């Protein structure tokens, strides 16, 4: 096993092991949570979703493996170009994207019949851009004009393009960038001031959207919050109630692999509520272990930050790991009823295409930074613009 890692899977071995474990867990959980649904709607083929996820995982692994071979300096050079390309892509998705669950989130590649969520790609690109900017501005943290034009404007614009169709993704991305700025020593007076203005503008957008219902899914957001605080156990809270039943019946050690009963009642047991299936089948022990795996990813990224003497790879690894960890925590919080339903999948585990592939690509970038550290590439002065460190 050591020789395999040394030859083919370079970088942080703990991250590789966590990813491979989550991949294998995904196959087991997808088959368990979707077999009855596949039997019902796909001609008795209980392995329909399993095979679909297996294909996604193979593609995701290739993307991750390829990304881990690329030097971090390549992402530094491409950050601005990729951001410039992602903005029109988000605009096209918002205006002409394929509707799913009353949201224009999907963009179809002409002639191939393949759809993807452009917001998934934009998340990684924006974090890449923020990491680059923060690495350059350490000696000018009090320059408000530069901060506003070069950092806040791109972050706000990208989040604004995602917001109408996908509030939770826009909020997750905004929070990740905010925490990166906080860690990046942005002047707190500027940071909290802009945050206050942003909250007011988002509130105004939601209020206007409720009057002109075609602008966004604001009514859906309001309904989810109302359902969350409501005592109604039969209608609006159906998903959450079924999830709570799954968790309550799982106990300490769970019912065992493949023995979930709530998979027949949860609307999305293989994606949004897969964490409830984990606890039902593997108990609190399985749920806590899954939580620890994601926290360990963040911890390993923090170690990369600690060892790095270059700011860009440090900010990039931290931002990407933070985004994935926050997404996982949001998915888990929804499943246990701590926050309203968001629709965020569990990274590397939930059934999905673009989310799984992009998340794997993000981890590939983190592994690439780790590989560069092992090869001392972070210390050879290759960075196109010197970090002010």
| Domain assignment present for 386 | no
User: Which of 18-27, 152-161, 251-260, 263-272 has the lowest average pLDDT?
Assistant: 263-272
Q: What is the residue-averaged pLDDT of the chain?
A: 84
| Domain assignment present for 279 | yes
| Domain assignment present for 233 | yes
Q: Is the pLDDT of residue 382 over 60?
A: no
At 110, the pLDDT band (50, 70, 90 cuts) reads low
| Domain assignment present for 65 | yes
Question: What is the pTM for the complete model shown?
Answer: 0.88
Q: Is the pLDDT of residue 75 over 70?
A: yes
| In the block, residue with structure tokens 């023995």 | 259
pLDDT single digits (tens) 356-381: 999 999 999 999 998 887 665 544 33
pLDDT single digits (tens) 315-329: 999 999 999 999 999
Cα dist. 218→91, 268, 272, 341 in Å?
Answer: 19, 22, 20, 14
More confident residue, 203 or 213: 203
- β-pairing verdict for 98-100 and 114-117: unpaired
| Domain assignment present for 388 | no
| Domain assignment present for 88 | yes
Measured at the CA of 170, the angle between CA 166 and CA 173, to 5 degrees, comes to: 140
Q: Is 162 exposed, middle or buried (0-12, 13-18, 19+ CB in 10 A)?
A: buried
- What whole-number percentage of the chain has pLDDT above 90? 43
Q: Is the pLDDT of residue 234 over 60?
A: no
Contact 246, 268 (CB under 8 A): no
| Domain assignment present for 384 | no
Residue ranges making up the domain that contains 161? 2-379
Segment 331-343 shows an average pLDDT of 88
Q: Is the pLDDT of residue 218 over 70?
A: no
Q: Which long-range contacts (CB under 8 A, 24 or more apart) does 304-310 make?
A: 304/12, 304/366, 304/369, 304/370, 304/373, 307/373, 308/369, 308/373, 308/378, 309/378, 309/379, 309/389, 310/135, 310/378, 310/379, 310/383, 310/387, 310/389
| Domain assignment present for 389 | no
Q: Can you give the pLDDT at residue 22? A: 95
Helices 311-335 and 238-250 pack at an angle, to 10 degrees, of: 90
User: Which of 126-135, 141-150, 199-208, 308-317 has the lowest average pLDDT?
Assistant: 141-150
Q: Is the pLDDT of residue 6 over 70?
A: no
pLDDT single digits (tens) 288-297: 999 999 999 9
Segment 191-199 shows an average pLDDT of 90
- What whole-number percentage of the chain has pLDDT above 70? 84
Residue 77 CA to residue 70 CA, distance in Å, equals 12
Contact 33, 280 (CB under 8 A): no
Segment 210-231 shows an average pLDDT of 68
Give the chain's radius of gyration (CA, Å).
21
Q: Can you give the pLDDT at residue 379? A: 40
Residue 272 CA to residue 59 CA, distance in Å, equals 21
More confident residue, 146 or 82: 82
User: What are the backbone dihedrals phi and psi of residue 100, each rounded to the nearest 5 degrees, phi first?
Assistant: -145, 125
At 337, the pLDDT band (50, 70, 90 cuts) reads confident
The total number of residues written for the chain in this structure: 389
Tally of domains in the chain: 1
pLDDT single digits (tens) 259-290: 888 888 888 788 889 999 999 999 999 999 99
């Amino acid at each position: 096993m050591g020789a395999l890692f040394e030859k083919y899977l370079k970088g942080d071995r703990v991250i590789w092991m966590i990813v491979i474990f989550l991949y294998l867990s995904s196959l087991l959980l997808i088959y368990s949570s979707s077999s009855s649904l596949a039997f019902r709607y796909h001609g008795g083929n209980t392995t329909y979703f399993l095979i679909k996820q297996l294909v996604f995982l193979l593609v995701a692994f290739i993307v991750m493996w390829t990304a881990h071979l690329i030097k971090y300096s390549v992402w530094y050079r491409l950050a601005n170009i990729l951001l410039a390309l992602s903005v029109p892509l988000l605009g096209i998705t918002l205006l002409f994207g394929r509707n799913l669950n009353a949201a224009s989130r999907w963009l179809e590649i002409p002639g191939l019949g393949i759809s993807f969520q452009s917001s998934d790609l934009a998340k990684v690109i924006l974090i890449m851009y923020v990491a680059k900017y923060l690495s350059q501005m350490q000696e000018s943290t009090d320059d408000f004009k530069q901060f506003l034009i070069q950092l806040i404007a791109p972050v706000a614009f990208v989040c604004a393009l995602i917001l109408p169709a996908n509030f939770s993704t826009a909020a997750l991305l905004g929070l990740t960038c905010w925490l990166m700025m906080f860690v990046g020593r942005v002047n707190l007076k500027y940071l909290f001031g802009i945050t206050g203005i942003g909250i007011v503008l988002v509130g105004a957008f939601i209020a206007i959207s409720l009057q002109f219902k075609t602008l966004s899914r604001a009514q859906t957001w309001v309904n989810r919050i109302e359902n969350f605080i409501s005592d109604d156990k039969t209608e609006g809270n159906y998903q959450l109630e079924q999830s709570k039943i799954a968790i309550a019946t799982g106990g300490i050690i769970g019912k065992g692999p493949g023995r979930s009963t709530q998979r027949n009642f949860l609307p999305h047991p293989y994606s949004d509520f897969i964490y409830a299936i984990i606890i039902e089948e593997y108990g609190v022990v399985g749920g806590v272990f899954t939580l620890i795996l994601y926290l360990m990813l963040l911890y390993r990224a923090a170690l990369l930050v600690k060892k790095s003497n270059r700011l860009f790879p440090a900010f990039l690894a931290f931002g990407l790991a933070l985004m994935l960890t926050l997404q996982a925590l949001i998915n888990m919080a929804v499943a246990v009823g701590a926050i309203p339903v968001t629709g965020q999948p569990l990274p590397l585990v939930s059934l999905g295409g673009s989310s799984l592939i992009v998340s794997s690509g993000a981890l590939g970038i983190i592994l690439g930074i780790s590989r560069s550290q092992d090869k001392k590439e972070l210390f050879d002065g290759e960075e196109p613009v010197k970090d002010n460190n």
